[in-house]
């Protein structure tokens, strides 16, 4: 009934969950393509893409036939996005620029069923495979499985990171590194002392309250650095960047071989 959450399985096995973000190639085949790599979760991004709600229902339906956990980054941390995407069958949501514990509590309330939250009940839809489950068991299973990811992307979010992490039901503090550096007035300066201090503050806040730490590196160097700082949920880049890098490498290869005569 409730799709197995491979992200939580990875945690239970003592592994760092590894994922990927899809924001361009919302195709019928993308779920099978990314599944073939063995990743644990995929974040379908509505914030920076053209994906609408109907497209997300389709992508989540395709993902339910795969082993990875489908998460969605919503365009805004509002109930009508959060609850509807959970009803589509998403196993977790990512919310950009969470700055206060009050907002974090609102997000948890929108995702979790009572008594943990205040999510509306509409059983018998996509999230329950179109049958009505035992409600008491389903509510408990869903609350335990669903994943709430709060992105820290501003100085205010960093300042309130500990209070956000303290909210029951928040699973991951996820640093949006470009947004955070930009909001600090040091865009893209990921080795700046102020940026590194902000990362440490978020790491300390998450560790204090037993939350996981997420981030999305695009190079091996940043991966190594952020793993060493304590980040333990990793999304490896976005679909368009990976496609471009692979194609660019292939074009160089062809031109190099062709130039040899």
Domain total of the chain: 1
Residue 1 has pLDDT above 70, yes or no: no
| Whether residue 261 has pLDDT greater than 80 | no
Nearest-angstrom CA–CA distance, 81 and 85 = 6
pLDDT tens, position by position, 177-205: 999 999 999 999 999 999 999 999 999 99
Strands (DSSP E) contained in 68-165 are 69-73, 92-95, 147-152
| pLDDT at 196 (0 to 100) | 98
Q: Which domain holds residue 244?
A: 6-259
Question: In the numeric block, which tokens belong to residue 13?
Answer: 């096995």
pLDDT of residue 208: 98
Tell me whether residue 46 is in a domain: yes
Residue 12: inside a domain, yes or no? yes
Rg, Å, the chain Cα set: 19
Percent of the chain with pLDDT over 70: 99
Tokens (6 digits) for 53: 């709600």
Assigned domain for 1 exists = no
The answer to whether residue 117 sits within a structural domain is yes
Confidence of residue 156 (pLDDT cuts 50, 70, 90): very high
pLDDT at 116: 96
Q: Is 69 a residue whose pLDDT tops 70?
A: yes
Does position 93 have pLDDT exceeding 70, yes or no?
yes
Tokens matching residue 45: 């991004």
Q: What is the DSSP letter of 132?
A: -
Whether residue 143 is predicted with pLDDT greater than 90 in this model: the reply is yes
- Of the candidates 255, 186, 172, 165, the residue with the CA atom closest to the CA atom of residue 214: 172
Query: Are the C-beta atoms of residues 120 and 110 closer than 8 Å to each other?
Result: no
Q: What is the pLDDT of residue 136?
A: 96
Task: Tell whether 121 is covered by a domain.
Answer: yes
Q: What is the pLDDT of residue 260?
A: 87
- pLDDT tens-place string over residues 221-246: 999 999 999 999 999 999 999 999 99
pLDDT at 202: 98
212: its two tokens: 């996981």
pLDDT at 3: 87
Mean residue pLDDT across the chain: 97
Read off the pTM.
0.95
- What is the arithmetic mean of pLDDT over 87-102? 98
Q: Which residues carry out catalysis?
A: 48
Give pLDDT, residue 2: 84
CA distance 147 to 50: 24
CATH number for the domain that contains residue 39: 3.20.20.60
């Amino acid at each position: 009934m409730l799709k197995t959450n491979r992200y939580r399985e990875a945690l239970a096995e003592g592994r760092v969950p590894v994922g990927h973000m899809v924001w361009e190639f919302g195709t019928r085949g993308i779920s099978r393509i990314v599944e073939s790599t063995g990743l644990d979760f995929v974040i379908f991004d509505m914030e920076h893409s053209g994906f609408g709600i109907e497209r997300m229902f389709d992508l989540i339906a395709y993902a339910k036939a795969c082993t990875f956990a489908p998460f969605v980054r919503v365009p805004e941390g509002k109930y009508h996005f959060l609850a509807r995407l959970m009803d589509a069958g998403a196993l977790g949501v990512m919310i950009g620029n969470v700055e206060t514990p009050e907002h974090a509590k609102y997000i948890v309330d929108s995702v979790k069923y009572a008594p943990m939250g205040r999510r509306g009940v509409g059983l018998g839809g996509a999230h329950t495979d179109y049958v009505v489950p035992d409600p008491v068991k389903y509510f408990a299973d869903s609350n335990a499985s669903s994943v709430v990811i709060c992105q820290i992307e501003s100085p205010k979010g960093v300042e309130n990171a500990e209070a956000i992490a303290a909210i029951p039901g928040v699973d991951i503090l996820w640093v949006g590194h470009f947004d955070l550096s930009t909001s600090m007035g040091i865009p893209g300066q990921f080795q700046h002392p102020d940026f590194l201090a902000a990362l440490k503050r978020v790491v300390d806040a998450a560790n204090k309250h037993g939350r996981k730490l997420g981030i999305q590196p695009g190079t091996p160097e940043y991966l190594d650095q952020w793993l060493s700082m304590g980040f333990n949920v990793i999304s490896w880049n976005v679909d368009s960047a990976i496609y471009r890098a692979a194609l660019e490498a292939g074009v160089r290869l062809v031109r190099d071989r062709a130039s040899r005569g």
